[in-house]
Every structure is written in C-alpha cells, then in structure tokens.
Amino acid sequence: MRRLICFVLPVAIVASIFFTARSLTGQIAPDSKEILYLSPARLVSDSAGTKLYIAQYEGKKIDVFEVKSKKITKSIALDASVNDLCISADDNTLYVTTGQSDGCVCIIDTATGHILKRIKVGYSPIAPALSADGKTLYVCNRFNDNVDFVDLINNKVKASVPVEREPYASVLSKDGRWLFVANHLPRRPAAPAADDDGMDFTVEACVSVIDTQTAKEVKRIDLPDGAVDLRGLDISPDGKFVYVTHILARYNVPTSQLERGWIDTNALSAINVADQKLYKTVLLDDVQLGAANPYKVKCSDDGKYIAVTISGTHEIHVIDRLAMHAKLDTVVKDDQGEIADPLNYLPYMQGLRKRVNLEGNGPRGLALIGNVAYATQYFSDSLALVDLQTYKTEEIPLGPDKPVTQIRKGERLFHDANLCYQKWLSCASCHPDVRTDGINWDLMNDGASNPKNAKSLVLAHATPPSMITGIRASAEVAVRAGLKYIQFSQRPEEDAQAIDAFLISLKPLPSPYLVNGQLSEAAKRGKLVFEKAYCIKCHDGQYHTNMKKYDLHTTYGVDLGVPLDTPTLSEVWRTAPYLHDGAATSIMDVLTKFNPEDKHGKTSHLTEQELKDLAAYVLSL
C-alpha cells in the first residue's frame, strides 16, 4: 500500500504544478517536442448524427467520437497536419485534406479506417465539399489562391479555378450549381491611389461564386468596407441565404480607444443566394463587450438557429435565425429615432441571440446534430457541447490533459481576446495566422494620420528594429506596446515573455512558387537580377534585410522624408499588399509603379523579362 502511494504521489504532483491545457494555474512546462497537442480543428458528423469525425490538426489523426457514449472509439493516423474533412452521403467515405506544400486529399474508408487513396492537390488544402452525385470534390488551396475540382472517378484534379486570395471556407448552393467560397483576405491596395481623394476608398474581402458547370469564378461578392479574416460559411436549409463570419475592421479611425468597437467589430454577413448579392451584416458584439474572432457558422437543420464559434472570447453564439431575419426585413430605429443600419448598431442583436460561455479555450470547428452544437476547442484539446434550446454546456476532453509550454502559452495568449479591455480583439485580429490582415492601421506610436499596413510577425524578433519606421527598438518592445496600447490592458511580464517565445518559434513557410522545394528557372534568373538591380544592398543576409533605414521617396503626408526600416522579404509571397502603406498589390507594382526614380533599387533599365524574373525570385523567398 505504501509503495502504491509513493508511485501515485509524484504523478499527482507533476500534473498539478504545471499550467495545463485545461487548468490554467501553475508553472509553465519546459518547451519540448515530446508534448504533442491535438489542436482539434474541424469536425463533421455522419448523416444519422451517431458519430463525429474530428480532425486533430497537430495530433495528425482523425478521432472518431461516438455521440451516445461521448467517447473516442477509434483513431485514424495520418502523416501530416489534418486541416479539414467532409463525408460522403452514404457515410462510407471521408475526404480529408492534409499538409501544407505537400497538400493532399486522403480518401478514407470509414468502416476500416484505411486510407484508400491519396490525391495530390494544392498548398494548404482546406474546406473540402462534395458534389451531390459524389463525383467531384471541391478543395480550397489556400496559398495557391485557387479551388481544385477533383474528379473522384479518375482520382485527379480536372480544373483549378483562381479566386481572390486565400480561399478558406466553401459551401454549395442546394442545387449544386454554385460554389460559394470565402476569401480569407482581400488582395487590394490598402490605401487610395495618389491621385484619388479617397472618398470612395474601401478595402474588404469578398465571397467568390464559382459556377460548378463551367469551373469558372463568375462573381465576387464584396462584403462591407473593413471586412477581413473570413473564416466560416454555411447555407440556410431552405437554400436562400449564405452566412459568412468575419471581422469588420474600423480602420479609418486612429487606434486611440476601444469603446463601442472603435477599432474592430466582429460580424456575420448574410448573402442572398438568388441574386448573389450581400443582403445584410449584423454585429456579434454587444455595446460594451466584444465577441472577437468569429470562426465557424452553422445553421440547424430545422432552420431555427444559427450557431457561431467565437474563437477569441471562447463562446458559442446561438442566434434565433427566423427572428433575426424578421427584424432584418423591417426598418429599425436607434435611440435617437434614426434608421439603424445593423452593421453599425451594436444593440441590434439584443434579444436575438444568446452568448454561451465555454469552459475550454479557442473554439473553432463546429458541427450541429439536432439541436446540439459540438465545437472543437483548439487550445484546450477538448470538445464543447451546447444545447441550442437550453444553453446547457458540457466540456469533454479529447485526450489526456497536457502541461502547457511557454510557446503554447504564448500562442494561446496571442489568440485570446479575454486579455483585451472589453474583449474587442486579440493580437490575431490584425495579425491573422500571425501575419497581416492586409489593412492599414493608424497606430499611435508614430503620430496620427499616417496609417501603416499591418506587418507579419514572423522573424520580427530576428530583425530589429520594429515597425516600418523602426519606432520600436525591438519586437519585444512592440509586443509589450501592443498589449498596453492596442488591447488597453495591463498584463504581467510573463505573458509578454510567452508571446515573445511563441513569435520567436515561428518559421516562414516555404513559398508556393518553389518547384519541388527549389527555385524555378525564372526565379534562378531573377536571383541574378536581384544583385544587378542592387536589391542585395539592403535586402541582404539570411533574412533579406540589413536592418537599416532609408528614405526611398515612398512616403508622403506627415511621413514625408521619414526613413523606413528595410523589411525582410522572407514569406513576402504571403504578405500583400506591399510597402508601408500597402499601396502596391503586387511585387511588379513595387518594382515599377512605385519606383519611378530608381530610389528603390535600379529597376528602370530592366527588360520586361528581367522584371518578371525578379518578381518570381522575390516571391520565392
């Protein structure tokens, strides 16, 4: 008996002294490759609602969760990150998208768990959707900016349809004719052109409509000005509306306060399927409480509810869908008697939706079975259940509780809007996937009325100073300033250190322009042009920056003549638009339109071919 106690005690102590994925007190575990988190991302149910298939993104497997017993009954191991999945109508087959540059669709037999086939698709494939006849699978290739039509009879890609940028979610119209695709970010200039007064200037991401018969993008439905970070898409059971979740950035004002969604609001837009136009947008926030980083959206089969996972504030919102539409169809007045546009009216959803707080952290994927919502919680490796009628919740662990490392803690804090005053935003709101939202923000660190394009934070710590003007001496300083001046919160130094550790751990993803991991022929030629045009003078070294400041005559207004910090070119393929004000949408524009005086490398004498080769090289870094 004594021996048994000796054996049990140390285990109990180890489990309790660490800050774990589910109990948020204690110490931080040392960073270690041994600790493998599951990071449940997406999930799908079979047609009878008896099983849920859960894509464990970092766990590299699919767990089969039995709804009745609330237990995992089987696991299917895969050899890459599991991004997303869908299931055939007869429940016999799973279509699973995996990997990044090695993107694949794995076809899995649900009865045996065997991988029947692998079909190579594009970069970071996500959001697989199956045609009603089961013959075509539509897959969004996030970093190829296109959607593959996979022929499931011959197991090959039969068409790749270009869309705007980073297709992230998709849904078919009920007749199967149209595929609606949410573009995660806009590919547009973030600032008006020099000869434009800016009065009509907008920047927003769009929903692409693809005609599945012709395999062509036929329409781009623009969301309201400031709509970015599109994550979720679903269609109402009557087929009349498509819903899309996104952030609604209020980028036109200086980031001087947060009250009433001053900087960011969080939204749900409804698209009318019949005319393929934006119908209306509602805000998910309350007047004094944000609902940051909405993720997935799902309608219940009876059409009564819309559920939305709110990943930054760890909630599920349950919306009374019919009541919301009844209100949207009428004119609503605000307290002053003015007509209230739901898009700008924070009290609009009062009485129409219930905010349900979850115990876990980072709800992302969402599936509905009858009137129960199931959400995967990315950072707590757990599943949340919410009854849509009673709002009763249940928290189910998907694996053993693991200690939290410094890096994981930082990743979690970076995505956590509970840090922020009134929960309006997380760091990820402007730095989705720790990169850029493509928007210009008028941060207060370098004065007012000089908005700057949000920067990627990959390599920020390795390439001081920080901010394009170099106003912050290092990324460490910028991280602490972000907490204080953008989230308006006082956080312990340990939180900032954890965020540093997380950001330092990030590595650039290989460029989708590489061919088998190598420079293409054009990029090889472009590498020589890079030297010839003197790019190497400033974009030198491992990170393609000498970390020095220059005035390249790209500045104007209050910034006129201010020298700018040479940015890294690593992963520049991913971080459009370019230059400090995001005025250039392509590398070609940086080299030509925005370099009239040859101040930014010597490009005026280059031939068309040399310019193209140079752009190919820069996009490969």
Contacting positions for ligand HEC (CB under 6 A): 255, 263, 425, 427, 429-431, 441, 443, 446, 452, 454-455, 457, 460, 466-469, 475, 478-479, 482-483, 486-487, 499, 533-535, 537-539, 550, 552, 554, 564, 566-567, 569, 572, 575, 578-580, 587, 590-591, 600-601, 603, 614, 618
CB of 454 to ligand HEC, least distance (A): 4
Residues 340, 323: Cα–Cα separation, whole Å: 17
Rounded Cα gap, residues 618 and 530, in angstroms: 8
> Which one, of 105, 165, 101, lies nearest residue 514 by Cα?
101
CB 309 within 8 A of CB 316: yes
Residue showing the smallest CB distance to ligand HEC in the complex? 601
Nearer to ligand HEC, 230 or 579 (CB): 579
d(CA 222, CA 231): 15
Q: Which of 528, 534, 565 is nearest to 548 (CA)?
A: 565
Residue type, 224: P
- Distance between CA 610 and CA 604 in Å, rounded? 11
Minimum separation from the CB atom of position 115 to ligand HEC (A): 39
Residue 601 Cβ vs ligand HEC, minimum distance, rounded to whole Å: 2
Cβ closer to ligand HEC: 321 or 580? 580
Q: Nearest approach, Cβ of 21 to ligand HEC (angstroms)?
A: 21
CB of 611 to ligand HEC, least distance (A): 9
Nearest distance from residue 476's CB to ligand HEC, in Å?
A: 8
Q: What is the sign of the dihedral through the CA atoms of 101, 407, 58 and 358?
A: negative
Q: Closer to ligand HEC by CB, 143 or 178: give it.
A: 143
Residue 576 carries which side chain, given as an amino acid letter? Answer: A
Q: Which is nearer to ligand HEC, 303 or 563 (CB)?
A: 563
Q: Which of 552, 546, 581 is nearest to 567 (CA)?
A: 546
Tokens of 141: 């290739």
Nearest distance from C-beta of residue 516 to ligand HEC, angstroms: 24
Closest CB 258 distance from ligand HEC, rounded Å = 10
**Rounded to 5 degrees, what angle do the CA atoms 235, 240, 243 make?**
40
Q: How many CA atoms lie within 13 A of 285 on its CB side?
A: 31
Name the minimum Å distance from CB 196 to ligand HEC. Answer: 18
For residues 349 and 355, the answer to whether their CB atoms sit within 8 Å is no
State yes or no: cis peptide before 397, omega within 30 of 0. no
Residue 78 CB neighbours (<10 A)? 21
In the complex with ligand HEC, the residue whose CB is nearer, 108 or 564, is 564
**Nearer to ligand HEC by C-beta: 278 or 496?**
496
Specify the length of the chain in residues: 621
Report the phi/psi class of residue 113: left, alpha or beta, with left for phi > 0 and alpha for psi in -120 to 50. left
C-alpha–C-alpha distance, residues 257 and 264, integer Å: 11
Closest residue by Cα to residue 302 from 195, 214, 388, 244: 388
Least distance CB 333 / ligand HEC (angstroms) = 31
Closer CB to ligand HEC, 16 or 257, in the complex: 257
